[in-house]
Amino acid sequence: MKNQSFMLLVALLLFVSITGIFAQDEGEESFFYNIYLSGNRAGYHRYTISPEKSIFLVSGETYLKIKIMGQEEELSFKERTTLDPKYHPLNYDLTIETSTGIQMISVQFGKEGIFEVIESEGETIEKEFEMKEKGFLLDNNMLSHYNMILQRLNYDINESQSFFIMVPQAMQTFTLYMQVAGADEYEGHTCYSVEGNLEGIEMNMLVEKETHILKKISIPSQNFEAMLESEGTPPDETPIQSQEVLEPILEKLFVESNVDMGDFKLLEMLEADIEVAVQVSDGEIYLNNFNQAFTGAIDGNWVKGRVKVQPLTYRPTKHIEYPPYYPFEGDSRYLEPEAGIESGDPELVEKAQKIVGNSETLWGAIRRINIWVNRHIEYKITMGSAKDCYLSKEGDCGPKSLLLIAFLRAVGIPARLVGGLLYADGKFGQHNWVEVWVGEDPGWVPIDPTVGEDEKINAGHITLWQGMGTVAPSAGKMKVEVVDFD
């Protein structure tokens, strides 16, 4: 049940940094921040900003060293950014290097909108964004971006101020809220205390009063801190274990149930009042579907209302032959590779074809793949893509679901990621599963490779999003009150 892919973890670790009030006539300035996860030094961020005519040039690097699935991993994020005099981005290039390969991100900011391209392992993803207003960058792990926003913050008022931002690694735009909450002393400097909130993720910053330099930031829900310090060296030889980072974060994604409903696999109906903060990085909030009805409202990123889950058993009334003799109608993206879902990888394609074997029906092929993932992937909290999960034979609900989707798409069956909460052992916790397209009637049908369910998934599944999403862990106010169950 615990979540998520490595890319989503990166997307949750929002780091920050930088400088004082940049003057056009000043020279190059450099800054260094140490990064701490769960109290352990896990990496650093350093960057340089240089004025050139009427623009600023920023070059920066973030380095992290952790263990993922028992293997030591070094992660490098290198950026080059051009900014206008008010610190709005003009273009942005990021190179991410890991042991599994290189990912290139390029973003152009024009008068008409934003255009982004991500290239990874021979695959290219493009996306255009509406330019609602001139905004700011806040890409994950590149700490320099925060202080560009801090330079534009009005420190003379204590009301909440909003900033339109783009997060290129998530291919998404958001609204960041910041508020000056007073002053404090830190290392001999008088600092503003600034509170931030990004889609329910709360952060606390100390910003030097005279220069507006960020001195320290903490994100309690992620056990993360970054501090302006002297130039340092890479982390110690023994890297932090990924589980040391994940476990404290994931514990915040659970809430005790007010009712003990027993064995979750036997739940036939669930009705509950919910208040949950949802962060969707590439997808949408998704509340009404094949098994679920929701009444209520969405307030910002908060979902508040009543949900009723009544799982329907899916047994095909007509057997669609496999492979189908006609293409499925609908959104073709659910048949294509994407970040974390390497459905075009020759090794995954070959394995998926072997799994479906001589299946004669579409539903038979789907069930064979779901059963294989459930039985052959050992449950373990990990970070990684579908291919990582396949090679290691380990994964929690996120990687298992990504692998299932990759296998299904590899053999021409549309599939997509969904998620929300799952009841188990007296708690509701974040969970991911899969929806597969079986034709216009009934459309998208849910299956769960972690629990091992397909014809009917249990009523403990509360669907909240489709695509890449997460419960915002820092909200700390998540409520699930069971009204009725069977």
Please check the confidence at residue 154 and state whether its pLDDT lies above 90: yes
Mean per-residue pLDDT over the chain, rounded: 83
Contact 322, 361 (CB under 8 A): yes
pLDDT at 451 (0 to 100): 93
- Judged by average pLDDT, the poorest of 134-143, 190-199, 259-268, 290-299 is 134-143
pLDDT at 407 (0 to 100): 97
The CATH code of the domain at 256-485 is 3.10.620.30
Please check the confidence at residue 356 and state whether its pLDDT lies above 90: yes
Structure token pair of residue 239: 């890297």
pLDDT at 17 (0 to 100): 28
- Judged by average pLDDT, the poorest of 97-106, 392-401, 472-481 is 472-481
Alpha carbons within 13 A on the beta-carbon side of 43: 24
H or E stretch covering 404: helix 397-410
Strands 161-167 and 172-186 come out as antiparallel
Residues 448-456 have a mean pLDDT of 92
User: What span, in angstroms and rounded, lies between the C-alpha atoms of 363 and 350?
Assistant: 20
Please check the confidence at residue 253 and state whether its pLDDT lies above 60: yes
pLDDT digits (tens, 9 = 90+) for 459-486: 999 999 999 888 875 545 788 999 999 9
Residue located via tokens 């508020």 = 179
Backbone angles phi, psi at 327, to 5 degrees: -70, 145
Residues 48-61 have a mean pLDDT of 90
Radius of gyration of the chain (CA): 23
Backbone angles phi, psi at 401, to 5 degrees: -65, -40
pLDDT at 14 (0 to 100): 34
Specify the pTM: 0.62
451 CB-near residues (< 8 Å, 6+ apart): 265, 374, 422, 433, 457, 458
H or E stretch covering 353: helix 346-356
| Percentage with pLDDT > 70 across the chain | 85
Contact 228, 215 (CB under 8 A): yes
Residues 348-377 have a mean pLDDT of 93
Of 274 and 441, the structure prediction assigns the larger pLDDT to 274
Chain CA centroid to CA 140, Å: 10
Please check the confidence at residue 5 and state whether its pLDDT lies above 70: no
Q: Per-residue DSSP letters for 439-457?
A: -TTT-EEEEBTTTTB-S--
Structure token pair of residue 225: 């801190």
Return the number of other C-beta atoms located less than 10 Å from residue 213's C-beta. 21
Residue 485, helix vs strand vs coil: strand
Query: Shortest CA distance to 208 belongs to which of 190, 184, 226, 185?
Result: 190
Residue located via tokens 């909130």 = 197
- Residue spans of alpha helices (H) in 205-320: 242-251
pLDDT band at 129 (very low <50, low <70, confident <90, very high): confident
pLDDT at 322 (0 to 100): 80
